[in-house]
């Protein structure tokens, strides 16, 4: 895959993420829960000021600004890594996904001061619901991208160990 394709993947993910979040915000009031697959999945309109799983969500403006700066730094680093990787292979696809997801969430932080989450998966067990924290398309892209990068590294290490040694 050429480098420009990787950046197009990231841009497509940003667009899809922002469109889905705009649809949720325009269609459902904050706090809405819409059952899609009973006992497993619902659409919700939730907000997250923190990082993963709401960590630091109740922090003040100084910490929120620091989070924004850190996330912007991560976006810059991932973009640099993508350029360095040359746009080829599974690692580049993974980096493109991480970049697109990170940019999608940073746009939310800049526009709203928090991230819109709307995917809520859960199971009913032991007389109650067990939830994974609500998330969005950008979060999914970051997770899939990170898994692709890890898998590419594992495959690279495996190939190096199987390659005949020059004697």
pLDDT at 22: 97
Annotated catalytic, 17? no
Q: What is the 3-state secondary structure (H, E, C) of 96-109?
A: HHHHHHHHHHHHHH
Q: What is the pLDDT along the chain (167 residues), one digit of tens a residue?
A: 566 888 899 999 999 999 999 999 999 999 999 999 999 999 999 998 876 666 666 666 777 778 778 888 888 988 888 877 765 689 899 999 999 999 999 999 899 988 999 999 999 888 888 888 999 999 999 999 999 999 998 998 888 777 676 65
| Cβ atoms within 10 Å, residue 120 | 21
Annotated catalytic, 108? no
* 17, 108, 120, 139: the active-site residue: 139
* 17, 108, 117, 120: the active-site residue: 117
Listed by start position, the domains of the chain span 3-162
Whole-prediction pTM value? 0.85
**Sheet containing 115-125, strands listed edge to edge, beginning at the edge strand earlier in sequence:** 33-37, 41-48, 115-125, 128-131
pLDDT at 123: 92
């Amino acid at each position: 895959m050429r480098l420009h394709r990787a950046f197009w993947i990231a841009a497509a993910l940003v667009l899809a993420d922002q469109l889905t979040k705009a649809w949720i915000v325009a269609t459902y009031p904050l706090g809405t829960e819409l059952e899609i697959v009973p006992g497993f999945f619902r659409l919700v309109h939730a907000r997250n000021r923190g990082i993963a799983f709401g960590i630091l969500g109740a922090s003040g403006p100084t910490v929120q600004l620091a989070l924004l700066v850190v996330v912007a730094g991560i976006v810059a680093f991932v973009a640099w890594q993508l350029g360095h990787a040359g746009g080829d292979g599974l690692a580049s696809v993974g980096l493109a996904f991480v970049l697109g997801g990170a940019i999608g969430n940073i746009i939310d932080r800049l526009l709203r001061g928090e991230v819109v989450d709307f995917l809520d998966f859960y199971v009913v067990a032991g007389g109650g619901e067990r939830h994974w924290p609500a998330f969005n398309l950008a979060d999914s892209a970051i997770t899939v991208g990170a898994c692709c990068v890890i898998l590419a590294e594992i495959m690279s290490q495996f190939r190096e160990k199987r390659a005949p040694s020059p004697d």
